[in-house]
Amino acid sequence: MTSRDSEASPLDCPVKHGRIPIYGPEFAADPGRVYAELRSHGSVAPVELSPGVPGMLVTGYDAALEVLRDPNRFPRDARRWQQGIPPDCPILPIMAYRPTCNLTDDPLRSRLRDAVTDSLDRVEPTVLREFVERSADTLIARIGPRGDADLLTDYAVILPLLVFNLLCGCPADLGDRMVAAIQEVLKWENSEEANMNLGLAVLELMALKRENPGPDVTTWLMDHPAGLTDEEVAHQLVMLVGAGSELAQNLIANTLRLLLSDDRFGGDLSDGSLTVEDALDEVLWVDPPLANFGVTYPVEPISFHGVELPAHEPVVISFAAANNDPSTLSDHRAGNRAHLSWGIGPHTCPAQGHARLLSTVAIEKLLDALPDMELAVPVEELVWRPGFIQRALSSLPVRFPAIPGAAPASREETPAPPPAPAVPVPEAPVPPEPEGWRRRLGRWWAGETG
């Protein structure tokens, strides 16, 4: 039911050039067996991140803590590494250097992170809860009359994007464009046009907020005493909305899968034996939405836990494997939040409290509205998306007794976001940045440099 390491002997994993690949449908189907095989190499093992791209995967809990807490030996700057990576490499867009607080080192990291955390801290939990509830009500009203849904595409994917748009003070029409662009970018298909659309939407939002500041994350980032440039603000916004929504959608979907398939949450879904918070903790331990990341690039060769780490080769933290390290594994996980799924050290996720609240409220709203919901296929038939970074379902089909309401929405329709807080919105001014910078923003998201 989960990716917990099996008690059985490890799978005979295919080995390429002395490295075990951690991509493709075989890995996605049962990563726990691959992690068990990798542990035969110790706390750190050689892997292939993508065809022809080597890396080192940290699977031990203590070793992961050591890497995450030592940015001097394990910096985040990817620029030397990416010089040797083909521009069409599928993992380059998410691993390439960009000036965001999660992919930079001090002193830039501290400056960017201060702006991000200070801005997020100004979001009142009651306001965030209200935004989630409004967005959830909108989506549930659309799927409820149908009697069936794909909870991934109809709910978990869209809801975080709607909430982030509200937090950023994004008007509904511009929010529609940002939602559509981010969804296309995250497919890694036709990314050039999607990148440009997203970049232009972010610039338009910033220009709008420059003329009409409001109580929102965009305004707070732009006005922060750290004095971020327009380009730096744009990068932080894309990080928060793009990466944040991907993480939240997978946390919601993976938790719903657990609730719908695990007898410990038995009975009717709105009154199971364990709580939604318990289910979130279980998922963050066993199937964390960000399974393998926290990538660092040693600037010189390092001898680490009996393994030689080459300079400028990715050292990837396996949050999923480290959480399930047999040497530290505990059977008592309800309420235990010592997992590494939010990271630790200077690059700890700055929005973990927001993501947890968003996910909890989104799941509770759905369970309250559709208490008789059940999986439409056996849990064993659910398919996981390939890729070593995320632990993400391809779909989550369910059925339930239809609830009265408006006419069922077509699955092809994209629901409009709930209206943003009332702010006078004039015609958007032309962003002051030159056209060349807009193109650079698109190239940045695609992982291009130069």
- Structural domains of the chain, count: 1
Q: How far is CA 439 from CA 11, 209, 412, in A?
A: 45, 21, 30
**Residue 428: predicted pLDDT:** 35
- How many angstroms separate the first and last alpha carbons of the chain? 45
DSSP designation for 377: S
What pLDDT is stored for residue 423 in this prediction? 33
Give a yes or no: residue 12 inside a domain.
no
**Residue 151 is assigned to a structural domain of this protein:** yes
CB atoms < 10 A from the CB of 150, how many? 19
Range of the domain at 315: 20-445
Q: Give dist(CA 301, CA 373) in Å, integer.
A: 53
Between the CA of residue 107 and those of 75, 112, 237, 326, 417, what are the distances in Å? 12, 9, 20, 37, 37
Query: Which burial class, exposed, middle or buried, applies to 79 when counting CB atoms under 10 A from its CB (0-12, 13-18, 19+)?
Result: exposed
Helix boundaries (H) for 287-335: 319-323
The token pair that represents 147 in the structure block? 């009697």
Q: Cα(218)–Cα(222) distance, rounded to whole angstroms?
A: 6
Does 13 fall in a domain? no
Tell me if 187 is assigned to some domain: yes
Residue recorded with tokens 């046009």: 193
Residue 236 belongs to a domain: yes
CATH number for the domain spanning 50: value is: 1.10.630.10
Per-residue pLDDT at 180: 76
- Evaluate whether 166 touches 176 at the Cβ level (below 8 Å): no
C-beta of residue 41 within 8 angstroms of C-beta of residue 15: no
| C-alpha distance from residue 43 to each of 73, 75, 256, 326, 365 (Å) | 17, 19, 31, 11, 41
pLDDT in tens, 286-311: 999 999 999 999 999 999 999 999 99
Within-domain flag for 383 = yes
Residue 11 within a domain: no
For position 273, what pLDDT does the model report?
63
Q: What does the pLDDT average to over 105-123?
A: 97
Reported as a single tens digit per residue, the pLDDT across 343-384 is: 999 999 999 999 999 999 999 999 999 999 999 999 999 999
Token pair 């080995």: residue: 15
**In this predicted model, what pLDDT tens digit does every residue of 388-419 receive, in sequence order?**
998 999 999 999 999 886 555 554 454 444 44
Rounded Cα–Cα distance for residues 290 and 341 (Å): 7
Whole-structure pTM value: 0.85
pLDDT, tens digit (0-9, with 9 covering 90-100), for 235-279 = 999 888 878 888 999 999 999 999 999 877 655 455 556 789 989
Looking at the domain assignment, is residue 4 inside a domain?
no
Nearest to 55 by CA among 89, 22, 100: 22
Residue 185 backbone class (left: φ over 0; alpha: ψ -120 to 50; beta: rest): alpha
